[in-house]
Amino acid sequence: MTPEILLVYASRYGQTRMIATRIADVVEQEGGRVHPWNVDGIPAAVDLRAFDVVVLAGAVMWGRHARRLRRFISRNLALLSTVRSILVSVSNAACSAEGRPFAEEYAQRLFRETGWQPDSFVLFGGGTTFTKYGFFTRLVMTRVERDHGRGTDRTRDYDYTDWEAVDAFARSLAHDKERVASSE
Ligand SMILES: Cc1cc2nc3c(=O)[nH]c(=O)nc-3n(C[C@H](O)[C@H](O)[C@H](O)COP(=O)(O)O)c2cc1C
């Protein structure tokens, strides 16, 4: 028996959406059932209790996860504690060993601020999408990325996601043994 997975994502520039899409594709290839929803479009009537696992995916900007995701968590806090839930946190900090403690702190901050205590969380590197930024964001991100030793060619985008790690996560989700055991 495969778990019924709700996957809610918040993505400003598209990297988290790509990660969510990849997770959904791999889960389905593995025979799992996944329902991906952009947090902006998810119907208010969706009942989290209908799912075995709820995965919330969101990117970090200026040290915090997307406000829309935080709102979703706050609105559904009570229900989230009744299902198995997982955070997928996307940030550029997560793409390097030096950055990982910062990426971890972003996740902990989300848990502190919302009171949500997921069963587990994963940290994935994001990307820098210079071609999608407006003038100000491109300017600031060029400086930030330079300070962190990452690419600063403003005519292109950079992908810092470890896609093998995303695939491995998706496979483990599709074969969620813990859930199957607890449902029997
Ligand atoms: C305005 C802005 C602020 C960001 N702030 C942070 C940050 O504080 N820490 C970090 O690790 N990454 C930061 N990032 C990197 C994003 O987490 C990364 O670009 C991510 O892939 C964006 O996801 P999205 O494409 O789904 O919107 C920032 C990116 C932008 C554009």
Contact 87, 56 (CB under 8 A): yes
Same domain, 156 and 94: no
Q: What is the pTM of this model?
A: 0.94
- On whether both 56 and 134 belong to a single domain, the answer is no
pLDDT bin (cut points 50, 70, 90) of residue 39 is very high
CB 64 less than 6 A from any atom of ligand 1: no
Q: What percent of the chain has pLDDT over 70?
A: 95
**Is pLDDT at 181 greater than 80 in this prediction?**
no
pLDDT confidence of residue 184: 32
- Is the same domain home to 113 and 171? yes
Q: Whose CA is nearest to atom 13 of ligand 1?
A: 61
- Could you tell me the CA-to-CA distances from 167 to 110, 142, 144 in Å, in that order? 24, 30, 29
For residues 123-148, give the mean pLDDT.
96
Task: Find the mean pLDDT for residues 166-170.
Answer: 97
Q: Which of 117, 111, 93 is nearest to 103 (CA)?
A: 93
4 bridge partner residues: 33
Structure tokens at 68: 């829309």
Where in the sequence is the domain holding 149, given as residue range(s)? 128-160
Residue whose token pair is 């479009």:
41
Q: How many CB atoms lie within 10 A of CB 156?
A: 10
The domain tally of the chain equals 2
- Report the residue among 7, 61, 142, 145 best suited for mutation to probe ligand 1: largest number of ligand atoms under 8 A from its CB: 61
CA distances from 154 to 133, 157, 159, 182, 183 (A): 9, 8, 13, 49, 50
Q: Whose CA is nearest to atom 3 of ligand 1?
A: 61
Residues 140 and 115 reside in one and the same domain: no
Residues 84, 53 contacting (CB under 8 angstroms) = yes
pLDDT tens by residue, 72-116: 999 999 999 999 999 999 999 999 999 999 999 999 999 999 999
Note the pLDDT of residue 177: 54
Q: Is residue 179's pLDDT more than 60?
A: no
Can you read off the two tokens belonging to residue 48?
Answer: 């989290």
Q: Are residues 104 and 152 in the same domain?
A: no
The atom of ligand 1 lying closest to the CA of 14 is 25
124 lines ligand 1 (CB under 6 A): no
- pLDDT attached to residue 46: 87
Q: For position 8, which CATH number holds?
A: 3.40.50.360
pLDDT value, residue 43? 87
Q: Is 176 left (phi over 0), alpha (psi -120 to 50) or beta?
A: beta
